[in-house]
Amino acid sequence: MPTAKVALVTGAGSGIGRATAIELAGNGFAVGLLGRTPSELEEVAQRLRESGAEVERLDADISQEDQMEAAVSKLIDRFGRLDAVVANASINGTWAPIEDIKSDEWDKTIAVNLRGTYLTLRFAVPHLKKGDGGSIVVVSSINGTRTFTSPGATAYSATKAAQLAMVYQLALELGRHRIRVNAVCPGAIETNIDDSTTVRAEEETLIPVVWPEGQVPLTGGRSGKAEDVAHLIAFLVGDASSHITGTPIWIDGGQGLLR
Q: Assess contact for 203 and 157: CB atoms under 8 A.
A: no
> Cα separations (Å) of 20 from 34, 225, 250?
12, 11, 17
- Domain 6-258: give its CATH code: 3.40.50.720
3-class secondary-structure state, position 86: strand
Active-site residues, by number, are 156
Give residue 53's identity as a one-letter amino acid code: A
3-class secondary-structure state, position 30: strand
pLDDT in tens, the chain (259 residues): 456 899 999 999 999 999 999 999 999 999 999 999 999 999 999 999 999 999 999 999 999 999 999 999 999 999 999 999 999 999 999 989 999 999 999 999 999 999 999 999 999 999 999 998 999 999 999 999 999 988 889 999 999 999 999 999 999 999 999 999 999 999 888 765 555 566 655 666 665 655 566 777 767 777 789 999 999 999 999 999 999 999 999 998 778 777 6
For the entire predicted model, the pTM comes to 0.90
Structure confidence at residue 209 (pLDDT): 58
Q: Assess contact for 179 and 133: CB atoms under 8 A.
A: yes
> Cα separations (Å) of 58 from 28, 36, 61, 128, 206?
19, 8, 10, 18, 39
Locate the domains of the chain by residue range. Answer: 6-258
Structure confidence at residue 136 (pLDDT): 98
